[in-house]
Amino acid sequence: MTRMLIMGPPGSGKGTQAERISERLGVVAISTGDIFRANVKGGTPLGLEARKYMDNGDFVPDSVTNEMVRNRLSQDDAKEGFLLDGYPRTVAQVDYLDGILAAGEHKLGVVLQLTAVDEELVSRLLGRARETGRSDDNESVIRHRLALYHQQTEAVVARYAGRGILAEVDGMGGIEDVTDSVMGRIDDVLSAPARGL
Ligand code: ADP
């Protein structure tokens, strides 16, 4: 069991790969986007708050997101390991997650990053919009989400790269191929000598 993150720009296939990796490794996959969408659908106070940001492609404020993640990670199924999908996306969230982990004397084993070029992502997401009708999959919102990824989340990737736990995988192959590459990279990182924090 291990504590892992999966990162990548919108449309890079994070959710799909998270499900597959979670099955192969037997760890729970936790997607902040899915939790927010379930709350929006259920009309909960958290959903009503999150919706204000999600429809425009903005980040839900850290104060809301951090608390939600803390609660989710304290549940039994995440005690021994987890694969977090979509969190952290800001350096403040990295610090917050570090605090949660340190309190339990835990640390992250691997951070996966799926890479992809922007134009391919836009066309994938426009295709998804036609199939699923997700309310944040229209071109101007998609471009805004990509811009936020570059402005804020690439700094998060750089932090983890500095700790020697980043595994980059090209997310543009077929679903099976990407999963195979990811599994190989997880092994590489977990078997490399620890470089500490
Ligand atoms: P994507 O990465 O394709 O944009 P997600 O399903 O991961 O989609 O997230 C959907 C939306 O949920 C984001 O655009 C954002 O509004 C919100 N969200 C998810 N995770 C976070 C987070 N860690 N911090 C802030 N907002 C988040």
**Mean pLDDT by groups of 10 residues along the chain of 197 residues:** 94 96 96 97 97 96 97 96 98 98 95 96 90 85 96 97 95 95 90 63
Cα 41 to averaged position of ligand 1 atoms, centre (Å)? 15
Query: Which atom of ligand 1 is the closest one to the Cα of 11?
Result: 3
Virtual torsion, Cα 25, 115, 50, 95, nearest 10 deg: 80
Active site residue 163: no
Catalytic position from the list 20, 51, 89, 124: 89
Q: Which of 72, 107, 134, 143 is catalytic?
A: 134
Q: What does the pLDDT read at residue 197?
A: 46
Query: Could you say which of 128, 143, 163, 185 is catalytic?
Result: 128
The pLDDT of residue 47: 97
Q: Active-site residue 24, yes or no?
A: no
Q: Tell which atom from ligand 1 comes closest to the C-alpha of 53.
A: 16
Ligand 1 centroid vs 86 CA: distance in angstroms? 6
Torsion, Cα of 107, 147, 18, 70 (10° steps): 40
State the distance from the centre of ligand 1 to the C-alpha of 35, rounded, in angstroms.
10
CA-136 nearest atom, ligand 1: 14
Q: Check residue 131 and give its pLDDT.
A: 87
Q: Among residues 40, 125, 137, 32, which one has the least CA distance to residue 85?
A: 32
Looking up tokens 């490399």, which residue turns up? 192
